[in-house]
Amino acid sequence: MLPQIADFSAEADELNALLETLSEADWERVTLFKAWTINDVIQHLHAGDLMAAASATGAAEFAAHRSRFQALRDSGLSRLEATRRQMDGLTGHHLRATWHAQVRSLCRLLASLPSDARLQWAGPDMGLRMFTTARQMETWAHGQAIFDIQGITRQPTERLRNIAEIGVRTYGWTFANRGLPPPGSPPYVHLTAPSGAAWSWGEPAPDNCVEGPALDFCQVVTQVRNVADTALAVTGAPAVAWMRIAQCFAGPPEAPPAPGSRRASR
C-alpha cells in the first residue's frame, strides 16, 4: 500500500473519532466554514469519496456519476443543495458510519490500482499518489471546521507532509485557475514539521520565500486560515501574491477566509 493511502485512512480515522463524541444535536451545529452544518461538512466529504471511488472504478463509472450530480445542478440547485439531495436524508451518526465505511472501501480500491495509475477528477487528471493526497487534504481541511466549532485543538502530525506537498505543487494552479500568469518563480518553501524536522522545496531564495510551521502553511493553502492569522514569514512579491489567494484544491477560484474569521470556539 502506498503511504499516502495509509495516511488518508488515518486522517479519516482521526476525524471519525471526534465525530463519535457528538450528540445528535451537534450535527446541526453551524460551523465557521460558509455556515455549513457538521452534517453538511461530512455529506460533502462523503460525496467526494463516492466520486473518487467512481473515478478509481473506471472512466465510464466516473462519467455516469458526474452526470447524475450535474443533473441536480442543472435543475437549479446549488452545490450544497445538490449534495444534500444526493445524500437523501443521510445525516448524524448514520452518515458518520456510512462515510467512514466508504473511506475504508475507497482505500482498498486505491490500493488495488497500479502505483502509476492516473485518475480523472473535476480538474486535471492526477496520479494515484496526488489523487489520494487530495482526499486526505479534503478530509483534513474540512475536518478543521468541526474541530473548531467543538473547541478542540487538533494535534498536528507528520501526515501534513503530504498536504504541504500538494500545496507547493499548486503554486501555478492558484494563478492559472484565476486566469492570471504566475507573478514570478515559485517561492522557496521552508517549513518546520510537527516533529521539529525541516521540510523544504526549491532552492533557498531570501527574496522570495515562505517560512514557518508546516501546520500554518497547510492551513493557508487549504484556506482553513487567512495567512494573517498564522506565524508564516512571507517574503517577496511572488510569495506574498501566492499566500493571499493560495488554493490547493480543484474547482472554481475560492476566496480565502477574511482575517480572524476562522478560529476555534472558546
Q: pLDDT (tens digit, 9 = 90+) per residue, 28-63?
A: 999 999 999 999 999 999 999 999 999 999 999 999
In terms of domains, do 84 and 111 share one?
yes
In the chain, DSSP finds a helix count (H) and a strand count (E) of 10, 6
Q: Evaluate whether residue 212 is within a structural domain.
A: yes
In a domain? residue 93: yes
Q: pLDDT (tens digit, 9 = 90+) per residue, 77-86? A: 999 999 999 9
pLDDT value, residue 266: 64
51 in the same domain as 141: yes
Domain shared by 186 and 73, yes or no: no
Q: Give the model's pLDDT for residue 123.
A: 76
Q: Is 27 part of any domain?
A: yes
Do residues 41 and 167 both lie within one domain? no
Query: Average of pLDDT values for 110-137?
Result: 94
Q: What is the mean pLDDT of residues 106-131?
A: 94
- Choose one of 120, 149, 178: the last residue of a domain: 149
Amino acid at 176: A
Asked if residue 33 is part of any domain, the answer here is: yes
- 243 or 264: which leads in pLDDT: 243
Look at residues 149, 179, 194 and tell me which one is the last residue of a structural domain. 149
* pLDDT bucket at 11, cuts 50 / 70 / 90: very high
**Grid coordinates of 146:** 468541526
Say what the pLDDT of residue 263 is. 85
| 154 in a structural domain | no
* 106/190 same-domain check: no
- 211 and 79 within one domain: no
- What does the pLDDT read at residue 155? 95
Whether 145 and 174 map to the same domain: the answer is no
Distance CA 163, CA 92 (A): 28
The pLDDT > 70 percentage for the chain reads 100
Q: Which amino acid is at 145?
A: A
- Both 101 and 199 in one domain: the answer is no
Are 171 and 145 members of one domain? no
pLDDT of residue 219 exceeding 80, the answer is: yes
Claim to verify: residue 25 and residue 116 sit in the same structural domain: yes
* Domain termination residue (choose one: 104, 125, 149): 149
Q: Has residue 155 been placed in a domain?
A: no
Q: Which domain holds residue 20?
A: 3-149
Give the 3-state secondary structure of 34-61: CCCEHHHHHHHHHHHHHHHHHHHHCHHH
Does any domain span residue 265? no
In this structure, the answer to whether residues 144 and 228 fall within a common structural domain is no
Q: How confident is the model at residue 124 (pLDDT cuts 50, 70, 90)?
A: confident
204 and 140 both lie in a single domain: no
Give domain status of residue 254, yes or no. no
Check which CATH number belongs to the domain holding 54 and give it: 1.20.120.450
> Residues 196-217: what's their mean pLDDT?
98
Which CATH number does the domain housing residue 205 bear?
A: 3.30.1050
Q: Residue 123 in 3-state DSSP?
A: coil
Q: Do residues 96 and 42 touch, judged by C-beta distance below 8 A?
A: yes
The whole-number average pLDDT for the span 194-202 is: 98
Q: Which long-range contacts (CB under 8 A, 24 or more apart) does 214-219 make?
A: 214/156, 214/160, 214/161, 214/164, 215/156, 215/160, 217/164, 217/167, 217/189, 217/191, 218/140, 218/160, 218/163, 218/164, 218/167, 219/144
CB of 128 closer than 8 Å to CB of 52:
no
Q: Tens digits of per-residue pLDDT, 248-259?
A: 998 899 999 999
Q: How many domains does the chain have?
A: 2
